[in-house]
Amino acid sequence: MPLTCIIVVGCIGLAAALTAVLGLLSRTGAFSGGLVASLVYAGGGQTGLALLAGFFLLGTGASLWKKNAKLQAGLAEDAAHKGRSGSQVWANGGVASLAAVASLLWPGYREFFLLLMAGSLASAAADTLSSELGVVYGRKFYNIISFKPDQRGENGVVSLEGTLLGLLGAALLALIYGVGVGHQLHFIFILAAGAIGNLVDSVLGAALERKNLMGNDLVNLLNTTAGAVVCGILFLVFSH
């Protein structure tokens, strides 16, 4: 194994341990996070790892922002102050990991699979920022299906401010991808993936999760899957 890879994997291990010590992830979450990061680095290189780090930093920052106020209002998820579990890590990073493995198996399509990673993580970032910051800065809240006013913080409830903040998160992930790859058209693909994936998450939240017909981890997994699918379709349609 090249020295650079050894150093990066070592840093990933230290970072995973630190997240557990700080209570950002549970022990299983930290182990899963380290494994996801290692896979993404192996299949997506520095750009893939930067995308994952960008999502983690954005998501963690959004979860911690105004944390006490959200806790007092009953708007913070338990995982935000108990440490996110391994299942939650895989729900958000599992699709990116699969794309990374596919990139290793079919290196000739590395650009395509890296784009799928970016789309899935942009979708996860859009969902996290819109949820965590929307309850703080949103003014009017609507049910995504009925478009009628609804209770802040409920599954499937959105606000204009939260939606825009989610798009900003997706745009930041698209910017990281652009710095690493330098493909301007793909910026639009990733932004679209974040927007559509976030929409899918909200619809599933209103239609199924709110009725206890689907768990949050599965909703997040389908959200990230939608982001990857959107990028994949746009790539196939417009890049040839």
pLDDT digits (tens, 9 = 90+) for 85-138: 999 999 999 999 999 999 999 999 999 999 999 999 999 999 999 999 999 999
How far apart CA 208 and CA 69 sit, in angstroms, is 28
How far apart CA 95 and CA 60 sit, in angstroms, is 19
pLDDT for the residue numbered 66? 84
Per-residue pLDDT of the chain (240 residues; tens, 9 = 90+): 677 888 888 899 999 999 999 888 999 999 999 999 999 999 999 999 999 999 999 999 999 898 888 887 777 665 445 678 999 999 999 999 999 999 999 999 999 999 999 999 999 999 999 999 999 999 999 999 999 999 998 999 999 999 999 999 999 999 999 999 987 889 999 999 999 999 999 999 999 999 999 999 999 999 999 999 999 999 999 976
Paired with 143 in beta bridges are 157
pLDDT for the residue numbered 155? 93
pLDDT for the residue numbered 82? 63
pLDDT for the residue numbered 113? 97
pLDDT for the residue numbered 240? 62
3-state SS assignment for residue 143: strand
How far apart CA 231 and CA 240 sit, in angstroms, is 14
pLDDT digits (tens, 9 = 90+) for 170-185: 999 999 999 999 878 8
Domain spans in the chain, listed from the N-terminal domain onward: 3-238
- Picking from 238, 224, 229, 123, the residue whose alpha carbon sits closest to that of residue 183 is 238
Q: Mind giving me the DSSP string for 172-189?
A: HHHHHHHHHH--HHHHHH
pLDDT for the residue numbered 210? 92
